[in-house]
Every structure is written in C-alpha cells, then in structure tokens.
Amino acid sequence: MSYVGPDFDPPQPRRPRRGPLTVALAALVPGALIGWFVYEAVGSPGGGSSAHASSASTGSSVSPTSTASNDDKPPGPSPLKGKVVVIDPGHNVTNFQHTAEINRKVDIGTNWKECDTTGTSTNAGYSEAQFTMDVSHRLKAILEKQGVTVKLTHDTGSPSWGPCVDQRARIGNDAHADAALSIHADGAPAGDRGFHVILPASVHAGGADTRAIVGPSAVLGRGIASNYRRVTGEPFSNYVGDGTGLDTRKDLGGLNLSTVPKVFIECGNMRDGKDAALLTNGAWRQKAAQGISEGIVSFLES
C-alpha cells in the first residue's frame, strides 16, 4: 500500500465554476422569502390583512370589522312629492272694511250668494279670519315637510279683502289640486260644541257640477274628521250632523263650483266658552293643523 502522510491529501474531483446568474439567484431568493414572510406577518401597507389589501385593490371600503349600512344611503323621494293641496283660509281679516265688495252676489250654480262674509269671532274679539289664517299656515308647513306642494287661496295682506267664493273654488280647480280644504270656525249659540266637516252634495245646475267629486270628497272628509278628532280630542258637533261629525250641503259656492275633491271644516264653535278656550290656544291650533294634515295625507296615499 502507498503511504499517505499528514502533509499530503489525495487529489479531489474538480467542481464546476458558478456562473454570474447562479450567484445572483442565490442571493435574491432568500431575500424574497424573508420579505414575503414579513409581509404576511405585518400585513399590507394600509395595516390590514392580505384579504383587506385585496378589497382595497378593488376599491371596496368594507373592512373585516365593519358592514355596509343603509343609514349612509341618501333618502329617497317623498311619496307625496308632486301632490298638490289647496288650502282656503275662510274669510279675510279686512272684509269688514269692504262691505260693498263682499256683499256683491256671485253665481254658485244653485243660486246667487254674497261674494264673502266677515265671519264670526269669540266673545273676546279673536276673529275667525285670524284663526283660519293661523291654522292654514301651520297646516301648510306640516304638509310641505312631507313633499306636498301647497297653495293658499289668499295670504296675509293679499288680497286686501275676499277673494269671492267662486274665485276660491277656481284657484283649486286651476291648480288641479289633488285635495282642497276650506278652514272655518262656527258662530253657533253658546252650548253648541264640537266640530264638523262639510261635504259637497251632488249638484248639477248652472256652472256647478259636483257629481265627479262627491265620492272622493266624502273619503277626504271622513279621513279628516277621524284624524282631527283623534289628535285634538275635540268632539263631533252636538248640533250639526247627528253626532257623525259630517254634514252635506249644496248651498256653498266653494264646494258647488269645485272640480277637485274638496271639503270644509268647522273646527269648533267660537261662541262657546269651552271651544273658544281651545281655538284661542296656539298649542291646540297646532294639534288642529296636525289632525287635518293626517287626514289629508291618508287621502293622498289612498
């Protein structure tokens, strides 16, 4: 055997030399692996998980700890948008200064009647015209908040008197109103209490023809009577309507000449002490407007 001493190693097989590309890959792979592990541990640059990063890349704002809410959606259009209501505040505070004008007769189909009247008042001097204008403004504000278009037949200071009953009806007709209401308060003897709603009778005479509106006006009137009583607590009239709170008439120009569903409401008796105490109270008048509005809205939604 040949001797192999400590200072002598046998010759080893020669290894092939590494090329430049091999060296580069060997350096990059460990770095890439380290970076991937760090990314998975820490998360995306936005601080979320890889799932969050995927959502962010698609533009989604939903995170793992939150869900979409309907509260963020803008409110839809009011179901009453486009509906038109005409409110007719009974009488005018300055009618008493224009007696010649308001006493002029106008044709209401069944007969001729005064253009308008002064209305009544409480014993303390609070006029029906003041009451009707106040309730009309309150009612208008409530309905407009629900998307309804509201028109008044007249407003404070304009016109200076009237308008005549035939013109009041025409305003509702020209507006193609979905509903029209004339607001009043009664002047019956003391002891007569409560409210009533006046419905149009079936009239077909002269320039009056209510046949098409009798049915829908009755629906409107019943809805107003029911809601007004519930909200205000005011009882049905004890002197008109036989306890039903409804009365049908054919001698009112504002109803006879209307071509749209229309009713009158006598909100209470100004000459009765108990009713007068309510009619002169602002908080109660707000209830009156609320009750009327709920009746109108129920009709518009039907």
Q: Which residues are catalytic?
A: 266
Burial class (CB in 10 A: 0-12, 13-18, 19+), 301: exposed
All residues at 6 or more sequence positions from 136 whose CB lies less than 8 Å from its CB, including other chains:
87, 88, 89, 152, 183
What's at 144, amino acid-wise? Answer: E
> Do 248 and 263 meet the contact criterion of CB atoms below 8 Å apart?
no
Sign of the dihedral through C-alpha 137, 138, 141, 144: negative
H or E segment to which residue 21 belongs? helix 20-42
All residues at 6 or more sequence positions from 173 whose CB lies less than 8 Å from its CB, including other chains:
257, 258, 259, 260
> Do 162 and 195 meet the contact criterion of CB atoms below 8 Å apart?
no
Residue ranges of alpha helices (H) inside 188-248 are 214-232
